[in-house]
Structure 1
Amino acid sequence: MIVDNDLLSIQQARILAENGFEAQKKLATFTQEKLDEIVEHIAEAVEEHAEELARMSHEETDGGKWQDKLVKNRFVCNQVRNELRGMRCVGIINEDPQKKITDIGVPVGLIASLCPVTSPVSTTVYNTLIAIKSGNGVIFSPHPGAAKSIGRVLDIMISAGNSCGLPEGSLSYLETVTKSGTCELMNHRNVSLVMITGVPGMIKAAQKTGKPVIYGGTGNGPAFIERTADIGQAVKDIIASKTFDNGIAPSAEQSIVVDSCVAGDVRCALTSCGAYFMSEGEAESLAGLFFAPDGQRRKGMAGQSAQVLARRAGFNVPENTTVLVAEREYVSDTDPYYREFLSPVLALYVEDDWMHACEKCIELLLHERSAHTLVIHSADEDVILQFAMKKPVGRLLVNTPAAFGGMGATTNLFPSMTLGSSSAGFGITSDNVSPMNLIYVRKVGHGVRCMDAVAAESAGTGKQPKTKVNDSNMVQIIQQILQKAIEAIDDPADR
C-alpha cells in the first residue's frame, strides 16, 4: 500500500496538538512541587540510559564523539536538574510586601519544539525538563537525521513521566516527520510558542506562524586573544572547546582573532596543542568539502575529526592533530572561512590592536546575521568592557572555553542546551533559555494611593488637595493626566 507521508505527518500533528492542548490544561493545574517531582523522575530515568543514548545518537548521526555526547547527557541530568531545584516558575513566584506587588507565574501553554542533529538527545531532554518544570506541554518534531535517537529518549521520558502523573499527551512527538507535518504543528491554533534549537532551515517557517519563537542556534562566534591574555591558557581553552564533540557545540569558537603583537606566541601555542596550519591549497580543498560552489552546505561533514577531514580533502596531517587552522586576512563572501564549519576547523585573523580586532569580530558576527557567542581572552578590564558594550551578540564569555562557558558549565550562566540568538533578529530572547522563558508573569498590584494624591501630583503641587475629589470630576482628572502624558511624548524637547 502506498502511504503519503506528508498527509500522515500532517494528521499526526493535528491529533497531537489537540490531545496536547487538553493535557496541558490539566498540567497547568499542578503545583510546583508536583511538577518538580515529575522532572526529577524523568531525569533519573534518562540518566540510567545516558550511555546507551550517547552511543545510539553517535551511530545514527555519524558526527561528534559518543563520549562527549555522554558528558552532555549527564550534564542535563545532573547539573541542569540541580539548577532547576528550588526554582519557582508557576503560582506565586515573587512577593514584595512593601510595594504590595505579587508575581504569578503562568505557563505559556503548548510548545512545539524542534531539536538538532548535532546534540539530539541532550537538547531533547533539556527542552522537556524546562517545559514540564514550567507547566507547559511540549510536542517534538525530531530532526530526520536523528529521529531514532530522539524517539528513543522521548519514549523513555514519556513512560517515566506518565508513571509519575504526567497527563498523557502533554509530552509527545511526531513519529512520521516531514516538513509539511512540522509546519502544520507549528501553525496549529493550539500551539502557543515555537522553540527551535539548531535547525536554521525552519526559522522562516516558524516566523510566518505569527507565534513567539525562541531560536537557539549556532553562530559564527570568534575568540579574541588580546595582548594581556594568558596566551597558553587561552589556546588550551580554545582547543578544548573546539575538539569537544568535534566542534559541534553551539557556542564553540569558529575563528580566532589575535592581537598582532602576540600573534607569534599564539601560533607557537597552537602548534604545541596539535593545531595544523593548512596551506592555501589545502584550505581551499577543505572548504570545497563543506560548501558547494553555490554556497550550499554539504551534508555529512559536521562533527568529523581533523584527521578524517584532512584525509577527505586529500592531504596528510600528523596523528596528534587536534584542529585545522586556515590563516585569513579578510572577511569576504568569496571566502567560506567566515562561515561556521561545526567541526575542528578554525580561521585565524591577525589585527593591529584591540580596536581593529573589535571591528573584525563584528564583521564575523554579522556577516551571516548569526550573532550568538563571543569569547575574549584578556586581563584588561577596559577592553573587556568595550567588547561587552559594542558587540551585537547574545553572550560574551571571558577567559573560558566557549563550548563549556556558553552552556553554563564553566560560567555561572544558566546551564542550558538552548542558547538564545535573538540579537540576530530570529527569536524573542538571547538568554540561555530556562523555564522562566516559558512562562508569562501575571502582575498583582494593590492600591496604595488614592486619586486625591494622584491629582495633586499631576497638578505639580506635591500636596494633598483640601477638597476631596468626587466621582463627578474623576473622569476629567484622568483625562488631564493622560493628556499631559501624551504631550510629554510628543514634545521634541523630551526626545
Structure 2
Amino acid sequence: MDRDLQSIQEARDLARRSKEAQRAFEEFSQEAVDRIVEAVAKKALENAEYLAKLAIEETKLGVYEDKVTKNRFAAEFTYNYIRDLKTAGFIKEDREKGIYEIAEPAGAIAAIIPTTNPTSTVIHNALIALKARCTIVFSPHPRAQKCSYETAKLLEEAARGAGAPPDTIQCLTIITAEGTDALMRHPDVDLILATGGTALVKKAYSVGKPAIGVGPGNVPAYIERSANVEQAVRNIIASKTFDNGVVCASEQAVIVDRVISERVRNEFIRQNCYFMTREETKKVESILFSPKGLPSPDIVGQPAPFIARKAGIEVPPDTKILIAELEDVGENYPLSKEKLSPVLAYYEVEDWREGCELCIKMLEFGGLGHTLVIH
C-alpha cells in the first residue's frame, strides 16, 4: 500500500479509537480527571531532559538547554495554571436567576505539532485536552516524528496508569500531508489545534469544524526614547537567542527612536551582536528562505556564526545575533518577515507615532493577531 494511503488509514483508525475513548472519558469525575492530569504532568516533568535530547538529535534545531526549559514550562506552568479549574459537572450557578453552567467536553481533538517545538507542544496540548475530558491525536512534523511520538507514548502510559481509558493520547507514525488532512476532516474529530505555518492554519480553519490555530509571528520590538536601553537590548537578545530563535513569539525586528539609535546600536555591539553591511545582508537573505519564501529548514534554529559561515561572511565566533538595517517592510525586504533564527531587522523612526505605524505594517505583513513588544 502506498505511504499516503497507509497514513490516511492510520489517521482514520486513531480518530475512531480516540472518539471511543472520549465517550468513556467524558463520564469521569473531577477527582478522577485531576488525578490523571497530575500524573501526566509529573511524567512530562520527569522526562523533560530526555525528551529535549530526542528533539535535538532528530530535528537538529535549537538549543538543548532551552528545549529542556520549554518542556518544564509546558509541564509545570500549564499544570499549575489549570490544576484548580473545575471542568466536570456543575462549574457555576446563579440561583437567583436560575442559571447553571455545566462543563461539556469538546470531544476528540486532532493536534498538529511543529518541528520547532515538537515535545513541549505535545505536553501542553495533552494536559489541556485531558483536563477538559477530551482525548487527543497528534500529527507531528515529519522531521520530528520520533520525538513527538515518544512524548505522546510516555504521556499515554502515565494517563493509563492513573486510570484513563486506553487511547486518550495517540500519535500518528506515518506522516504525510494526506494523513494529516484525513485526520482533521474525520467525522470523529470534534476540534482541531493547529500549530505551524500560515498554510496549515488556514487549512485547519477551512475544514468546517471548530479550530484553534497558532500561525507565524512577525514580532516587532519598539524601543521608545524613554526606555532603559541596556535592559531593553539585553531582554531582546535573551528572547531572540532562546532556542536559537525558533519560538514564534521571539522578536523579528527592532524599531528604534532615531534620537537613541546610536546608543541602542552600541549596546547591541557591546553585547556581541553584529550589524551587517548591505552586501552581507544580501548574502544572508539569499540563504535564509526557501524558494517558496518560507524560512529555510537548513537555517531554522541554527546559531548566528553558523548562518554567517553558510552565507559566506565573517563574524566573531561569539556573535549572538546578526542584525540587518532595513528601510521598509514587504516582499522587497525579505528580512522584514519571520526568520526563526537569530537574525534581526533594524529600523530607525522619528517618534512613537512612526514607530507604531511601522509595527502595524510588520504585523500586517506577516504576524496579525500575534505579538508586539514595546520597551
Q: TM-score range by the shorter chain?
A: over 0.9
Query: Which residue of 170, 173, 190 maps to 1:172?
Result: 170
CA contact (8 A) 1:64 1:246 kept: yes
Structure-1 separation of matches of 2:314 and 2:154: 43
Which residue identity is paired with 1:119? Answer: N
Query: Which residue of 207, 210, 229 maps to 1:209?
Result: 207
CA contact (8 A) 1:221 1:371 kept: no
Query: Which residue of 274, 279, 292 maps to 1:281?
Result: 279
CA contact (8 A) 2:219 2:367 kept: no
CA contact (8 A) 1:220 1:371 kept: no
1:407-486 matches, within 5 Å, as none
Pairwise CA distance, 1:265 = 1.1
Structure-2 separation of matches of 1:49 and 1:200: 31
Which residue identity is paired with 2:327? Answer: E
Query: Which residue of 176, 181, 184 maps to 1:183?
Result: 181
Residue of structure 2 in register with 1:218 after alignment: 216
Pairwise CA distance, 1:248 = 0.9
Pairwise CA distance, 1:368 = 2.7
Query: Which residue of 311, 314, 321 maps to 1:313?
Result: 311
Which residue identity is paired with 2:211? Answer: V
Of structures 1 and 2, the larger Rg is shown by 1
Aligned to 1:214, what secondary structure does the other structure show?
A: strand
Aligned to 2:125, what secondary structure does the other structure show?
A: helix
Aligned to 1:367, what secondary structure does the other structure show?
A: helix
Which residue identity is paired with 1:131? Answer: A
Pairwise CA distance, 1:294 = 5.6
Mapped pair 1:104 → 2:102: yes
Query: Which residue of 358, 361, 372 maps to 2:359?
Result: 361
The answer for unaligned runs of 5 or more in structure 2 is none
Residue of structure 2 in register with 1:47 after alignment: 45
1:413-442 per-position Cα deviation (integer Å, ceiling 9, x unaligned): xxxxxxxxxxxxxxxxxxxxxxxxxxxxxx
Pairwise CA distance, 1:369 = 5.2
Structure-2 separation of matches of 1:168 and 1:293: 43
TM-score with structure 1 length normalisation? 0.74
1:41-96 per-position Cα deviation (integer Å, ceiling 9, x unaligned): 11111222211111110111111001100011111222221122111123222223
Mapped pair 1:298 → 2:296: yes
Aligned to 1:175, what secondary structure does the other structure show?
A: coil
Structure-2 separation of matches of 1:100 and 1:259: 56
Query: Which residue of 128, 136, 139 maps to 1:138?
Result: 136
Residue of structure 2 in register with 1:336 after alignment: 334
Structure-1 separation of matches of 2:134 and 2:39: 17
CA contact (8 A) 1:114 1:199 kept: no
Name whichever of 215-224 and 126-135 sits farther off. Answer: 215-224
Residue identity over aligned pairs, in percent, reads 42
1:200-247 per-position Cα deviation (integer Å, ceiling 9, x unaligned): 332233233101110112310100011111111111110000010001
| Aligned Cα root-mean-square deviation (Å) | 1.4
Aligned to 1:257, what secondary structure does the other structure show?
A: strand
1:17-416 matches, within 5 Å, as 17-292=15-290, 295-368=293-366, 370-377=368-375
Structure-2 separation of matches of 1:310 and 1:19: 48
Aligned to 2:254, what secondary structure does the other structure show?
A: strand
Pairwise CA distance, 1:165 = 1.3
Structure-1 separation of matches of 2:311 and 2:333: 17
Structure-2 separation of matches of 1:117 and 1:282: 28
Structure-2 separation of matches of 1:95 and 1:46: 35
Aligned to 1:254, what secondary structure does the other structure show?
A: strand
CA contact (8 A) 1:115 1:199 kept: no
Q: Which runs of 4+ in 1 moved over 6 A?
A: none
CA contact (8 A) 2:323 2:345 kept: yes
Name whichever of 203-212 and 287-296 sits farther off. Answer: 287-296
1:276-319 per-position Cα deviation (integer Å, ceiling 9, x unaligned): 00001111111111124663543221100011111111111112
Aligned to 1:51, what secondary structure does the other structure show?
A: helix
Structure-2 separation of matches of 1:55 and 1:313: 28
